[in-house]
Chain A
Amino acid sequence: MPKPPLANLIEEAQRVLSICNACRYCEGFCAVFPALERRLEFAEADVHYLANLCHNCGSCLYACQYAPPHEFALNFPKVLAQVRRQTYRRYAWPEAFAAAFDRNGVAVGLAIALSLALTLLVVAAWSDPARFFGAWSDAQGSFYAVMPHAAMAGVFSVVAVFVVVALAASFLRFWPDLGEDLADFVRMPQLSNAMWDALGLRYLDGGGPGCTYPREAPSMSRRNFHHLTFYGFLLCFAATLAGTVYHYVFGWKAPYPLYSLPVLLGLIGGAGLVIGPIGLIILRANRDPDLGDSAQDGMDTGFLVLLLATSVTGLLLLDFRETGAMGTLLALHLGFVLALFVTLPYGKFVHALYRFAALVRFHIERRRPLPAIGSE
């Protein structure tokens, strides 16, 4: 009887890791190699750990003397990418949604459609066509003229709670499988080391010269576009928080003027969230097919498209909020934001969760004594 594909995949990863452990030439590229060198054997949990520690920078593939067409046919970044998708599936919560990782394009499409439909329904329920297509001045509180604040806040609060619970559940299942205590996750300085690595994308530098991504020549473009995306997203999120504070603390109602904190944060963040995802989408389209797992194309691109759609509709809404297009743009924007959030635990976003956990684990392990392997 043929083995299940997952067992084959883990076995292939174990074969590859054993070759790497005997070679070690790539040790300077990232954290994965020093981590694997601590081991003589690779249990399934080790494979998941190392796969998620890998940032898929690609340097090791081009440096590898055993890469295809060598008979060892060793493609380290690809096999780890394939394992990551299995990590995402395995630790997804609720488990019934794990299948989304197999067909992310469809999942994202469905989420967009449903979110748009829901938003439109809510908006429409609260306004008649005249209000929806009318032009409202900021002074009239244009957004809430077509959709009451309570409805907006209510829908998003429910979604936010769900997302946090789903991600927390995934983490709480993943972390113990690595063999670490929960208490160790929040210990300093391991946690701050990992944060520093994550915030600076330390391991997207190929050990110094940059990632060999999308092709063999090292470049910092991927790290830079990822920074624009990530910090753009954070600034947009900060804009939302600032708006919340304005609303509840100060009682100031949206829309806010251009020179207000929520709008400025949203504007800068939105720009990052336009340029970043576009850059990443272009890099991805030019990517050496050997560098990753093509089964994740939908997942990666789906997430980037949602981020881009969110920022683009947000910026359009800012620009046209005092025109008759506002109602439509608001519904579109909220629909994309909703779709983005609903799919967070079942799409590419989860890489941040598992990679961060792996980084913390790396810094915990780094402080333990090395196994006594004699010098060659």
Chain B
Amino acid sequence: MDESRVYDVLVAGGGNAGLCAALTARELGLSVLLVESAPADFRGGNSRHTRNMRTMHEAALAPLHGVYPEDEYWDDLVKVTGGQTDEKLARMAIRGTAEHVPWMKRHGVRFQAPLGGTLQLGRTNAFFLGGGKALLNAYYRAADALGVDVEYDAEIVDLEIRDGTFVSATVQRKPGTDHVFPSGGKTWSVPVFAKTFVAAAGGFESNLAWLREAWGEPADNFLIRGTPYNMGKVLKLLLDKGAKQVSDATAGHCVAIDARSPKFDGGIVTRVDAVTLGIMVNKHARRFYDEGEDYWPKRYAIWGRLIAAQPEQIAYSIIDAKSMGKFMPPVYPPMKAATIAELAGQLGLDRAALEQTVKQFNAAVRDGTFDHTTLDDCATEGLDPPKTHWARRIDTPPYYGYPLRPGITFTYLGVAIDERARMVFADGKPAANIFAAGEIMAGNVLGKGYLAGIGMAIGTTFGRIAGAEAAKVVNA
């Protein structure tokens, strides 16, 4: 980084969206500085935990099979968001994906057939070979080759915005990362001037204080599946400087993950896909929601919120020997016991209460033909809440239990943008030279719910648009 120069573009955030913006702008001849708050080993925000991009394709597009037209993609999005989406921006994100795959390949990203256990995504989602970290590595190599300046361990702590125009950002280096600047100064924070600013610094899900502010006490029991570096500092700065807010602080992608996972960064392996096969009980050993409502890929995103609403934000998935091995293996071994009472003891639940719940459930199960791949006819009768599919008696030892907690994947609170990815102020006016891409503006498209692989679609589309629009501003 050369703090004595005026960069054409300053990109805040080194995840997928920031890199797409940086690469696009650099290839259009702009000088680019990208600041990433994480150290190099943890660079890339939540993109390092991703693995695919939901991709529209009207014709065959390897490695995807079949077609996935724009309208079907749109319908899928409307379903999960309940219509809480900006159609114009959403359709831009969708249409953009059609062109992303060749662009990504040009920048070193490789694709692969859908992963084991995700065959149902083989038509709609393009999987990155090696996942999101491999994608980031490719982009960082491309950025390096093109001459994008990248600063790790560097945070933006202030923004100077005058009359709707970005002037400079104060970049602060993290403690323990002494850095001598070209001017000879060895300083902790330094103003960086740039002609345009791309905010691609993610949401605030790593900021526990902010989560607590939004959710109250239950937030203390949340686990953060992704990066510990999404503190929402740039988001907060932009909102404080008058950006128009989209979505709210409790909106986000929140799933049920193993309660034994690390507080941060547990990623994909912390999932437990046993829920639809058994029963879910809360800390009082009572069931609280229909476990068999729909296929797990369509319902996994609701369980984080369901558990967040339970006492102490904990729940337990309980299955018997019939179901063991019939779902993706979770990373932590289950509690295992010969009797329900013994399992209750291991899980710290009231023995009698769990026995009673299982007994009631078993009594309500109506026999059917079990088929986990269809919405089968195995359901309970006269039970509240019911289990409407895949209901089988829990009667074959050993019994297994997994403790689950809400796992925040990412937050939707963001800044509003227009079709040129320009950040919009509260008065509805777009900023002259401030753009936003990625999770920081995903709330424009995702008001609620989640559609697998759409985060990368939004980030790539608006990252590339932001880079191209920045070039228009600089070259004007």
Contact = CB atoms under 8 A, between A and B. Distances in A.
Partners in one complex: yes
Interface of A: 18-19, 21-29, 34, 37, 40, 59-60, 62-66, 69-71, 207-209, 216-217, 371-376
Contact of B137 (A26, A216, A376): A216
Contacts of A18: 329, 331
Contacts of A25: 51, 115, 130-132, 134, 268
B326 A29 contact: no
Given A207-B112, A375-B117, A375-B297, A26 B130 contact: yes
Given A19-B269, A65-B133, A376-B273, A37 B327 contact: no
Contact of A375 (B48, B265, B373): B373
A21 B328 CA distance: 8
Contact of A24 (B113, B116, B133, B262): B116
Centre residue among A22, A25, A371, A372 by max chain B CB count within 10 A: A25
A70 B265 contact: yes
A65 B268 CA distance: 9
Contact of A34 (B108, B116, B134, B296): B116
Given A22-B328, A28-B112, A217 B120 contact: no
Contacts of A375: 117-120, 296-297, 373
Contacts of A209: 108, 110, 129
20 contacts: A18-B329, A22-B269, A23-B267, A23-B269, A26-B131, A28-B110, A28-B112, A29-B129, A65-B132, A65-B267, A69-B41, A207-B130, A209-B108, A216-B141, A373-B327, A374-B327, A374-B328, A374-B372, A374-B373, A375-B373
A63 B134 contact: yes
Given A29-B130, A65-B131, A65-B132, 18 more contacts: A19-B269, A24-B115, A24-B117, A25-B134, A26-B131, A28-B112, A28-B127, A37-B116, A40-B329, A63-B134, A64-B133, A65-B48, A65-B265, A371-B325, A374-B273, A374-B327, A375-B296, A376-B296
B330 interface: yes
B224 to A, nearest CB: 13
A272 to B, nearest CB: 30
Interface in B108-151: 108, 110, 112-113, 115-120, 127, 129-134, 137, 141
Nearest to A69: B41
Contact of B129 (A23, A28, A374): A28
Nearest to B116: A37
Given A18-B331, A373-B327, A374-B326, A27 B133 contact: no
Contacts of B117: 24, 373-376
* Contact residues on B (Cβ < 8 Å of other chain), bracket: 35 or more
A60 B328 CA distance: 20
B134 A27 contact: no
A63 B325 contact: no
B105 to A, nearest CB: 10
Centre residue among B108, B331, B372 by max chain A CB count within 10 A: B331
B325 A40 contact: yes
A376 B110 contact: no
B95 interface: no
Centre residue among A21, A27, A29, A60 by max chain B CB count within 10 A: A27
Contacts of A60: 130
Nearest to A370: B116
Contacts of A59: 130, 134
B91 interface: no
B212 interface: no
Interface of B: 41-42, 48-49, 51, 108, 110, 112-113, 115-120, 127, 129-134, 137, 141, 262, 265, 267-269, 271, 273, 277, 296-297, 300, 325-331, 372-373
Contacts of A373: 116-117, 325-329
A361 B113 CA distance: 23
A50 B145 CA distance: 36
A209 B262 CA distance: 33
Contacts of B269: 19, 22-23, 66
A28 B130 contact: yes
A65 B130 CA distance: 10
Contact of B116 (A27, A40, A71): A27
A300 B185 CA distance: 47
Nearest to A33: B116
A64 B110 CA distance: 15
B118 A376 contact: yes
A22 B328 CA distance: 7
6 closest cross-chain pairs (CB), A and B:
A28-B112, A63-B130, A25-B131, A22-B269, A63-B134, A22-B331
Given A25-B51, A376-B118, A208 B268 contact: no
A29 to B, nearest CB: 6
Nearest to A372: B326
Contacts of A24: 115-117
Contacts of B325: 40, 371-373
Centre residue among B117, B269, B325, B330 by max chain A CB count within 10 A: B269
Centre residue among B116, B273, B325, B327 by max chain A CB count within 10 A: B116
A63 B110 contact: no
Nearest to A71: B262
A49 to B, nearest CB: 18
A71 B266 CA distance: 9
A372 to B, nearest CB: 6
Given A209-B110, A375-B117, A22 B130 contact: no
A372 B325 CA distance: 8
Contacts of A376: 117-118, 271, 273, 296-297, 300, 327-328
Contacts of B134: 25, 59, 62-63
A62 B129 contact: no
Contacts of B262: 71
Nearest to B267: A65
Contacts of A63: 130-131, 133-134, 137
A215 B48 CA distance: 19
A59 B48 CA distance: 15
